[in-house]
């Protein structure tokens, strides 16, 4: 359930509501489109039974009522509603209006598959990081990642990557396993590397490192995950604690080295490891030689 942290309400300028109401007063409704029929049906449905906005009470002035009415208007294009919401959140914190916050909650349940809404969601999170719980941000990331893992359009995937990358950059605490799966499955590793590198270097970096290693057991994510591990553990911008995970990575290599799609990458990783350590490895050489032998056999076949 989505909720905001308790926060003392400050005054919102009624001039801004008046300006937006005036700006959108001439927006014409559209008739007979499938989107409008869908939105009319949504408008007739009841709001979620439990919306925990218990911390705030706000007396709507007439201009704010106009804005809320526009956002709920089934005759207004979805793109126009998104533009209006964007204009609104630039100057008004979403917790200042109970009606606006409740509408936003409804939209998170209805429009998460729409890339324009994902961008709006990012805008709202960015401007309300002190209000939105980390658990809710991770729920949003989970949902967006799930959509990416389905057969969605490339435009949505690009938007999702931008969303996750920006959330990481603003310092939100992330623990979404689905995000790592989406980053390893839906994008070439070169596109997702910067985001994953930031995750690995975050305060929660050890968790994300284990999450990345677990992706080696996911067939669809394996090749990209292995390329990312090669960069993270043995690349120029490797994580500082990489050596702590060498033993775990090698044990996983032993499990997956029969997969002919990744044997060359595994061999490259082990070759770099041996060259860098130069006999100072803490692992049994028989174990490493066994992996090398399996990769050679697979390459020969």
pLDDT digits (tens, 9 = 90+) for 283-300: 555 666 777 676 666 666
The mean pLDDT value for 239-268 works out to 89
Start-to-end Cα distance in the chain? 53
CA–CA gap between residue 169 and residue 163 (Å, rounded): 10
Give dist(CA 291, CA 288) in Å, integer. 5
Q: Is the pLDDT of residue 277 over 60?
A: yes
Query: CA-CA distances (angstroms) from residue 251 to 7, 100, 238, 255, 270?
Result: 49, 52, 20, 7, 12
User: With bands split at pLDDT 50, 70 and 90, how would you rate the model's confidence at 67?
Assistant: confident
Assign 69 a pLDDT band (cuts: 50, 70, 90). confident
Q: Which two tokens stand for residue 284?
A: 């049994």
Rounded mean pLDDT of 266-282?
A: 78
Give the pLDDT confidence score for residue 26 in this predicted structure: 52
Min mean pLDDT across 18-22, 37-41, 174-178, 252-256 is at: 37-41
The three-class DSSP label of residue 147 is helix
Dihedral angle, C-alpha 108, 202, 277, 269, nearest 10 °: 20
Q: Bigger pLDDT: 111 or 68?
A: 111
Q: Could you tell me which of 30, 44, 49, 50 has the C-alpha nearest to residue 72?
A: 44
pLDDT for residue 86: 84
The per-residue pLDDT for 273 is 84
More confident residue, 22 or 228: 228
Percent of the chain with pLDDT over 70: 70
- Spacing of C-alpha 181 from chain mean position: 11
Is the pLDDT assigned to residue 270 strictly greater than 70? yes
- Bridge partners of 132, per DSSP, are 4
User: H helices within 46-188, ranges in order?
Assistant: 62-72, 78-91, 98-110, 115-127, 134-149, 154-169, 177-185
Q: Comparing C-alpha atoms, which of 111, 114, 167 is closest to residue 136?
A: 167
State both tokens at 281: 């490895």
According to the model, what pLDDT value does residue 3 have? 46
Q: Mutual orientation of helices 14-23 and 78-91 as an angle, nearest 10°?
A: 160
Using a pLDDT cut of 90, give the percent of the chain over it: 41
Do 288 and 281 meet the contact criterion of CB atoms below 8 Å apart?
A: yes
Question: Which pLDDT does position 63 carry in this prediction?
Answer: 66
Average pLDDT, the chain: 78
CA 36 to CA 104: how far, in whole Å?
A: 19
Mean pLDDT of 95-114: 86
pTM of the prediction? 0.76
Residue 132 to residues 8, 99, 244, 275: CA-CA distances in angstroms?
14, 17, 34, 47
Three-state SS annotation for 222-274 = HHHHHHHHHHHHHCCCCCCCHHHHHHHHHHHHHHHCCCCCCHHHHHHHHHHHH
Tens digits of residue pLDDT in 186-209: 999 999 999 999 999 999 999 999
**Low-confidence winner among 2-11, 60-69, 221-230, 269-278 (lowest mean pLDDT):** 2-11
């Amino acid at each position: 359930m989505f909720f905001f942290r308790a926060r003392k309400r400050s005054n919102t300028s009624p001039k801004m509501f008046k300006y937006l109401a005036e700006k959108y007063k001439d927006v014409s409704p559209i008739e007979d489109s499938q989107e409008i029929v869908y939105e009319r049906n949504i408008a007739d449905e009841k709001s979620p039974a439990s919306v925990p906005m218990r911390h705030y009470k706000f007396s709507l002035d007439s201009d704010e009522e106009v804005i809320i009415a526009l956002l709920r208007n089934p005759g207004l294009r979805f793109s126009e509603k998104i533009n209006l919401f964007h204009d609104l959140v630039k100057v008004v914190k979403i917790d200042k209006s109970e009606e606006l916050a409740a509408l936003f909650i409804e939209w998170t349940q209805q429009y998460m598959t729409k890339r324009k809404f994902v961008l709006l969601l990012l805008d709202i999170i960015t401007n309300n990081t002190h209000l939105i719980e980390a658990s809710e941000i991770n729920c949003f990331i989970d949902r967006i990642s799930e959509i990416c893992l389905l057969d969605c359009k490339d435009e949505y995937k690009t938007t999702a990557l931008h969303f996750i990358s920006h959330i990481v950059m603003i310092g939100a605490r992330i623990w979404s396993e689905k995000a790592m799966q989406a980053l390893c499955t839906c994008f070439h590793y070169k596109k997702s590397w910067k985001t994953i590198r930031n995750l690995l270097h975050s305060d929660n970096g050890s968790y994300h490192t284990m999450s990345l290693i677990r992706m080696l057991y996911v067939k669809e994510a394996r090749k990209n995950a292995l390329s990312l591990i090669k960069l993270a553990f043995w690349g120029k911008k490797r994580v500082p604690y990489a050596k702590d995970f060498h033993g775990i990575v090698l044990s996983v290599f032993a499990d997956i080295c029969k997969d002919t799609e990744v044997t060359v990458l595994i061999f490259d990783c082990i070759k770099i490891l041996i060259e860098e350590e130069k006999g100072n490895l803490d692992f049994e050489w028989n174990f490493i030689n066994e992996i090398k032998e399996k990769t050679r056999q697979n390459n020969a076949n």
